[in-house]
């Protein structure tokens, strides 16, 4: 009989293996020439893994730069003791203070003409460091082809801006394509314009996780690994080219078990009706924790190394699993939501494929109410 004791008092928690993170970091380093720097992307709380703890370990391994999305994320790293340079990949919003860049020693992506003019007018006592974003075909952030001549001329005339880097982003790097090649060519042309105007950036970077494998010519002198640090692949085909280790293991526990006869409707909407006598385990996790509602009646969890189907709709705080084949299951038994158990494993990649999304979203959706425990 489960008595509520044990070392894990949480109804659900995520174990983050910093040793596995280190393995992935070293594997990524192995793809690079010695003079290529690593900007490790730890935005969105390190894709749900915990930005400060992940950043500390990566910094100890030699990560020379970090990428985040917002000033708040950069401030969190500084308050957590991280000293390496930090780049705001999404730039500074019009309503955010430029003083915060100096206060927290942050570098910002320079993403559009309005931001350029705002920084040019800023008088903070020292230059602001920027990485100029070039839109080579993503259609999101950055300066387009028709803006480049005006951009480099304005930068060469403006004091108070330190162009530390020039950057771009692939629209699809999971597999090599002609479109991606044209993006690289457009970026090389843009970097050439900077140099023609006497602007020599210290860092030139374009390659994210997928591009590090598929576009080696886009390594330049810095790359930006993200999802691969955490043991996931931008595309399944990359498994043959790089060995990665999942960093997160997300678990919960069986709360209680009920037995239903055939013909009983379960959970909201009665979308699942038992076809036979069915033993159901109730797991105290749900979409409020980041467990995808789209896994209703289609996903699975691992209990004692056995796959158990999710039945009925995923609730805000509960998931139902069919444990008819597990005669001894009971309260307190471990339930693996992401990770390995026995000879089987459920990965973020697998979940993403089941529900028609990407592993980035699966990991980033983990709620902050899920405690992270760090090992390794």
Q: Catalytic site residues?
A: 43, 268
CA 313 – CA 336 distance, rounded (Å):
18
Angle between helices 18-29 and 51-61 (to 10 degrees): 50
The H or E element containing residue 45 is helix 43-48
Helix (H, G, I), strand (E, B) or coil at 354: helix
Taking 3-state DSSP, the helix, strand and coil percentages for the chain, each rounded to the nearest 5, stand at: 35, 25, 45
Which residues fall within 8 angstroms of residue 60, CB to CB, at 6 or more apart? none
The first and second tokens of residue 363, run together, are 């990991």
The first and second tokens of residue 311, run together, are 């039945």
CA 95 – CA 130 distance, rounded (Å):
18
Instruction: Please state the φ and ψ torsions of residue 106, each to the nearest 5 degrees.
Output: -110, 150
29, with CB counted inside 10 A (0-12, 13-18, 19+), is middle
CA 299 – CA 357 distance, rounded (Å):
14
Own/partner pairs, 27-35, CB within 8 angstroms, 24+ separation: 27/242, 27/243, 27/244, 28/212, 28/225, 28/228, 28/229, 28/242, 31/212, 31/213, 31/242, 32/212, 32/219, 32/223, 33/219, 35/221
Asked if 40 contacts 67 with a C-beta cutoff of 8 angstroms, the reply is yes
CA 306 – CA 288 distance, rounded (Å):
25
Sign of the four-CA dihedral 182, 184, 185, 187: positive
Helix (H, G, I), strand (E, B) or coil at 251: strand
Nearest Cα to 68, choosing from 14, 99, 52?
A: 52
């Amino acid at each position: 009989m489960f008595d509520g004791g044990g070392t894990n008092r949480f109804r659900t928690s995520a174990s983050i293996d910093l040793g596995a993170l280190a393995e992935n970091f070293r594997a990524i380093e192995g793809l690079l020439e010695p003079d290529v720097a690593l900007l490790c992307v730890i935005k969105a709380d390190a894709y749900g893994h915990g930005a400060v703890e992940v950043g500390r370990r990566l910094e100890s391994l030699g990560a020379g730069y970090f990428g985040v999305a917002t000033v708040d994320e950069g401030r969190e790293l500084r308050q957590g003791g991280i000293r390496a340079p930090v780049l705001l990949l999404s730039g500074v919003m019009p309503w955010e203070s430029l003083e915060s860049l100096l206060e927290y020693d942050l570098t910002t992506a320079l993403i559009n003409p309005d931001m350029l003019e705002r920084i040019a007018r800023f008088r903070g006592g020292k230059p602001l460091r920027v990485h100029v974003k070039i839109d080579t075909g993503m259609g999101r952030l950055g300066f387009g082809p028709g803006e480049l001549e005006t951009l480099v001329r304005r930068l060469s005339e403006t004091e108070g801006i330190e162009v530390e880097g020039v950057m771009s982003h692939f629209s699809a790097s999971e597999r090599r394509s002609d479109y991606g090649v044209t993006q690289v060519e457009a970026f090389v042309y843009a970097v050439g314009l900077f140099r023609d105007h006497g602007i020599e950036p210290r860092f030139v970077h374009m390659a994210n996780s997928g591009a590090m494998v598929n576009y080696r010519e886009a390594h330049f002198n810095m790359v930006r690994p993200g999802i691969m640090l955490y043991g996931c692949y931008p595309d399944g085909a990359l498994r043959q080219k790089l060995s990665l280790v999942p960093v997160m293991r997300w678990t919960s526990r069986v709360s209680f078990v009920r037995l239903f006869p055939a013909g009983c409707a379960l959970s909201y909407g009665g979308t699942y009706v038992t076809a036979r006598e069915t033993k159901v385990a109730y797991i105290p996790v749900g979409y409020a924790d980041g467990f995808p509602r789209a896994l209703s009646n289609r996903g699975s969890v691992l209990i004692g190394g056995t796959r158990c189907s999710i039945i009925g709709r995923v609730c805000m705080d509960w998931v139902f699993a069919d444990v008819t084949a597990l005669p001894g299951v009971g309260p307190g038994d471990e339930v693996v939501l992401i990770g390995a158990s026995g000879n089987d494993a459920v990965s973020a990649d697998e979940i993403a494929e089941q529900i028609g999304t990407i592993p980035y979203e699966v990991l980033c959706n983990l709620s902050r109410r899920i405690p992270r425990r760090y090992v390794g």
